[in-house]
Chain A
Amino acid sequence: MKNLNNTLLMAVAPAGDSSESLDFENLISYMSAKIGLKVKIKYCRDYNAAMKMLSSGDAQIGWLGGIFAIQELESRYNPIEEFAVGVPVGKNVPFYRSQFIVSSLSKINTLEDVRNKNIALGDTFSTSGYQVPRRELSEFGIDIENENSFKSVTHVSNHDQAILAVIDGKVDVAPVSSVNLDLMIASKKLNEKDFRIIHQSSNISGAPLVYLRDLDPVLKEKIKIAVLDAHNHITVSGYGGHLERYVDPIESHREYIESYLRPQWGWQTLLGILAFLIIYLLITIDLEIDFSELLTNSFFYMKDVIGRMLPPDFSNFKSLMLSMLETVEIAMMGTLLAIILSIPIALLSARNLSPIYPIYLVAKTITIFFRAIPEFIMAMILVIAIGFGAMPGIIALGFHTMGFLAKFYAESIEHVNEGPIQALESMGASKWQVIAFAVVPQIIPSFIGNNLYILDRNIRMATMLGIVGAGGIGYELQSAFRMFEYPRVSAIIIVIFLTIFVIDMLSSYIRSKVL
């Protein structure tokens, strides 16, 4: 290391924006006094020259400019490390942003709109006037290097020029540094009402002071402390003129990252959970639900009832199976009835097929009406009207689930791909031909799926219909309960369970084969 005569050399690269001052004299003479070593400043022609001096060890301290220092520090095998970064006047953190500004009257609202507009750009070395904007624009597919991306490109030598070009209407938009923008507002050179910020970059770290990694650790520490403490004794300056102070970049970066920490569960979520708990607590109180009762007395009675139900009594197995079969038959007939009834209703209640609005409305009302009345109620009325047996059950199931199926079909008809319909219409197919060739094939899978679901559901529902006298195993269940024959009740429950289990497996199988 060429560190002769106890002299340190500081290599300074030119600032990206030529008019922004680079003033290290004051800081360096203070530091020199503090560490008891002579420090000379060497202003280099360009970034490469400064970096070369550092790599060779000719210079021990340096300032490399924004974008280059960051690139250099990010590469793994670099000879330098950052030790201080300047905080702009009036700020707390050594960060700034690149902001795209437009005149307040401009119609530009997003970066997308910047394409084919008049733009002012800084020097290609400028971090916030070129390099960062390049990245931000590329997110919107705009290539900053290609002049054809814009109507015109005005090259400016500093941010103040760019800001004024926007205000004066010479250009439509310009990316500028937030530091310059804030300073111009603070010094009343610029009115906040005259411009709008349409986009801003994430925080950019200021250009840091660096020293050689393999410098004497004691010396490194001395230099660092002197610079970080300088603002208490002198007016510090550096890139961009006067500065508030210098801070440790690693420390400030840690604080910066921590400023983004938020609790994983926001107060809104916690408030929501609390509200939910309160509402359910109030419901519990209103319904006079006593959970302790449920766990003590009721639990005891429950145990008693279950005890009486066991073992299940399968003595009349044959008649049990026959009435279960009857239940399944009722469900199958009901489902068929529902399918037959729902197809025309669905065609009329699908908005894209229904001929006129009143017909659509009537069809829609019919489906809602039958969905609204539980099949249980419907069956009770039908038993009174047409007497006991399978018929009231079939009709009740058929009409109730017709309401469901018509709604399902209509929805899948409304969601068919319009493309094939247009293609067939354009070649002169009639309305019914269009339905047969373009609509039906598209809805077949959901048609089968929905029918299987309704069949499954109707079997479960049909077991209950017998209770009101509409045939099937429900009737057996009802009479077993009335006679207090609990072992028979448990036998019926087991039969129902097994039947539904088999049907479920069967319909899953069909579904997997057909769909």
Chain B
Amino acid sequence: MLIEIKELRKTFENGTKALQGVNLSVNEGEFVVILGASGSGKTTLLRSINGLVEFEQGEIKFCNNIISSSTLPTLRKQTGMVFQDFNLVSNLSSLNNVLTGLLDSSNTIMSMLYLFTKEQKKQALSCLEMVGLLDKAYSRVDKLSGGQQQRVGIARAIIKNPTLLLADEPVASLDPKISDSIMNLLWNIRSQIGLTVICNLHQVDLALKYSDRIIGLSGGRVVLDAKTKDVDEEYIRKIYDGHSNGLFFNTN
């Protein structure tokens, strides 16, 4: 068991109850998609795992260690994160953006001067090759298309060889075709380097295509937790309490 979440609760200052007792676990090597409409609490859940959001009740275990302020740095060293809006530093090159993923293990003074070792740069170039962007290594990321920017984001997330990859709506800002290619890339990378992936999505078709297990979230509660091969559309409607807004079915 890589991750175990018990009775997780979070209420925001404005009174929004984002999580109302979430229980779930993720096995090593699994590709889990958390499916839910906007406001279902899936972003809060994902961000609680690596401490970007503080939760008030419940516990999260990573490799059997309870996550606390003292274990968080170790956890963060082993997690990579992919964001909806890519969160790249727009006027740096792709290569430098990927290298930012290694800052936690770099010499502070050298990295202040943007200097990295040959090994680190080769590692970054290999990651860019893995996402198919080696030729764009020295292009500024704001000159790249959205899909390419997310590829750089993925390269940055995997460069430190994480155990866990958290992807928060990685394709929400992309069109359906490119979304599919990005999900396909995550899916392939998972099997290539043996990652555990937790990915938030609101596109049901992508979730069914790229996941081992689907966890449905609605109103801050887990309403579905099933192997993807056992999931049918009937099941998925349950997640949305009959109102299917926020759902996207790609029609080709």
Contacts and interface: CB of A to CB of B under 8 A. Distances in A.
Interface of A: 74-76, 135, 138-139, 141-143, 146, 202-203, 254, 257-258, 260-262, 264-265
A262 B134 contact: no
A83 to B, nearest CB: 20
A143 B118 CA distance: 39
Contact of B132 (A202, A261, A264, A265): A202
B107 interface: no
A143 B192 contact: no
Contact of B148 (A139, A141, A257): A139
A78 B61 CA distance: 32
B252 A146 contact: yes
Given A142-B177, A202-B129, A262-B138, 15 more contacts: A75-B191, A76-B193, A138-B177, A138-B181, A139-B148, A139-B181, A202-B132, A202-B134, A202-B135, A203-B135, A254-B122, A257-B122, A257-B126, A258-B122, A264-B114
A486 B132 CA distance: 70
B194 interface: yes
B66 interface: no
Is chain B's interface secondary structure helix, strand, loop, or mixed overall? helix
Nearest to A74: B192
Interface string B107-140: 0000000111010011001100100111101100
Nearest to A138: B181
Contacts of B175: 141
B177 A141 contact: yes
B70 to A, nearest CB: 33
Contact-residue size bin, chain B (C-beta under 8 Å from the other chain):
20 to 34
Contacts of B172: none
B16 interface: no
A76 B191 contact: yes
A515 to B, nearest CB: 21
B123 to A, nearest CB: 9
Nearest to A141: B177
B122 A76 contact: no
Contact of A261 (B121, B145, B194): B121
Interface string B129-161: 100111101100000010110000000000000
A75 B118 CA distance: 27
A439 to B, nearest CB: 32
Nearest to B114: A264
A257 B181 contact: no
B178 interface: yes
Contacts of B181: 135, 138-139
Please report whether the interface of chain A is mostly helix, strand, loop or mixed according to DSSP: loop
A285 B162 CA distance: 55
B188 interface: yes
Interface in B63-108: none
Nearest to A200: B135
Contact of B192 (A75, A254, A257, A258): A75
B192 A264 contact: no
Given A74-B188, A143-B252, A202-B135, A257 B177 contact: no
A490 B128 CA distance: 61
B114 A265 contact: yes
A76 B122 CA distance: 21
A138 B125 contact: no
Nearest to A266: B138
A139 B147 contact: yes
A269 to B, nearest CB: 10
A260 B137 contact: yes
A75 B125 CA distance: 20
A146 B178 CA distance: 15
Q: 4 shortest A-B CB distances, which residue pairs? A: A202-B135, A141-B177, A138-B181, A257-B125
A265 B115 CA distance: 8
Interface string B221-252: 00000000000000000000000000000001
A265 B134 CA distance: 19
Contacts of A260: 125, 134, 137
Contact of A139 (B134, B135, B178): B178
Contacts of B147: 139
A206 to B, nearest CB: 15
Contacts of A75: 191-192
A315 B145 CA distance: 69
Contacts of A141: 175, 177-178
7 contacts: A135-B181, A138-B180, A138-B181, A141-B178, A202-B132, A257-B129, A260-B134
Contacts of A254: 122
Interface string B160-196: 0000000000000001011011000000100111100
A257 B192 CA distance: 18
A261 B118 contact: yes
Nearest to A137: B177
A3 to B, nearest CB: 30
A146 B251 CA distance: 13
Among A74, A76, A142, A260: residue with most chain B CB under 10 A? A260
Nearest to B99: A264
Nearest to B148: A139
A258 B118 CA distance: 9
Contacts of B122: 254, 257-258, 261
B170 to A, nearest CB: 16
A203 B177 contact: no
Nearest to B96: A264
Contacts of B121: 261
B32 to A, nearest CB: 18
Interface string B188-206: 1001111000000000000
Contacts of B125: 257, 260-261
A94 to B, nearest CB: 15
A395 to B, nearest CB: 45
B107 to A, nearest CB: 13
Contacts of B252: 143, 146
A264 B118 CA distance: 10
Contacts of A203: 134-135
A191 to B, nearest CB: 27
Contacts of B114: 264-265
A482 B15 CA distance: 65
A257 B118 CA distance: 11
Nearest to A254: B122
A264 B115 contact: yes
Nearest to B132: A202
Contacts of B194: 76
A270 to B, nearest CB: 12
Contacts of A74: 188, 191-192
B114 to A, nearest CB: 5
A141 to B, nearest CB: 5
Given A202-B132, A260-B134, A139 B191 contact: no
